[in-house]
Amino acid sequence: MSNQDNIHPQKSHKTAIIVGSISAVLLIILGFLYFKNKSEMQMLVDEMVEEKDMLTMEFETLALDYDSLKTSSDTLNLMLEKEREKISQLIEEIHTIKATNSSKIREYKKELTSLRKVLKNYVVQIDSLNQTNKALEQENQQFRRKVTTIQSSYKELEKEKENLEEKVDIASKLETYNMEASGLNSKDRSTTRASRVSKIRICFTIQKNITAEVGEKLVYLRLLRPDGALLYHSKQDLFKHENKEINFSASRIVEYGGDELDVCLYYKVDAGELTSGDYVADLFADGHHIGNMTFNLR
């Protein structure tokens, strides 16, 4: 065998070794690059998943921020409720998309930014409304205090008015003096014997009073027998005294001008009506008790 024949197989062998070595190196490099790329891709996916979770958390935090907003405005409450429903719907959508859907993630980020701006606007509106309500409440409190003060002053004035009216009423009350009682027989002669009396006469003088209302005055007489029974002719003979209607024995209209006035009232006695003993005569006018006396019949 010649030397040429031995050299050719040796070269082929060396070439095969070189090619194999290169292939092995390439495989190692490709394997390394593959695992490196896979690792980097996994890291990227993990980052995108984390980004999605963070986005979800930010939307949930935003929802809580909207829930914390309180206002007395029905219009604002309705608008806030719509925003809360919108956020809730976006959270549900984020849960359903893949973390690798970067375009959708970007859209939701933009929506988050927009919703945060809207939230700030609502916060400003609600704060302004609360400040206005606070100012109005202070004004209402001041107004209520003024009303209370006015009511208190009004009550005091009413009380003073009542006191003045009471004083005027007392001052204008008619007073009598010189009361005299006489029993008269059928010939209008005085008698103290009860069996002979046909009329009882009560005379008196109304005092001068410049504060009393002038004009016609209706004076009432009540006569009580010794047994306490009232002498009167009809149950319809009534007048008002101390918010009650009571019977009277006799009455008379007099014209009072503010000066002293002498008056006499008469009670016509029914047969057998009188008994022996002490009688009581009471006079009334303008709703007041203006005179009293006791007299005796035998």
Which tops the pLDDT comparison, 171 or 292?
292
Task: Tell me, yes or no, whether 236 and 102 share the same domain.
Answer: no
User: Residue 227 corresponds to which amino acid?
Assistant: D
* Pair (127, 264) in one structural domain: no
Question: Are the beta carbons of 272 and 225 closer than 8 angstroms?
Answer: no
pLDDT at 233 over 60: yes
Which pLDDT belongs to residue 130?
A: 78
Q: Are residues 190 and 159 in the same domain?
A: no
- 84 close to 66: Cβ distance less than 8 angstroms: yes
Instruction: Select from 114, 148, 171 the last residue of a domain.
Output: 171
Do 164 and 50 share a domain, yes or no? yes
Please tell me whether residues 43 and 77 are part of one structural domain: yes
Please give the DSSP secondary-structure letter assigned to residue 233: S
Compare 93 and 11 and report the one with higher pLDDT: 93
Residue 210 has pLDDT above 90, yes or no: no
* Domain limit, last residue, from 171, 188, 213: 171
CB 265 within 8 Å of CB 221: yes
Alpha-carbon distance values, 73 to 28, 118, 126, 129 (Å):
71, 17, 9, 8
pLDDT band at 38 (very low <50, low <70, confident <90, very high): low
Is there a single domain that holds both residue 77 and residue 14? yes
Pairing of the two strands 261-268 and 230-231: unpaired
d(CA 168, CA 211): 8
Assess whether 45 and 130 both reside in one domain: yes
Q: For residue 122, what are the domain limits? A: 1-171
pTM above 0.85, yes or no: no
Domain boundary among 130, 147, 171: 171
* Residues 183-199, mean pLDDT to the nearest whole number: 92
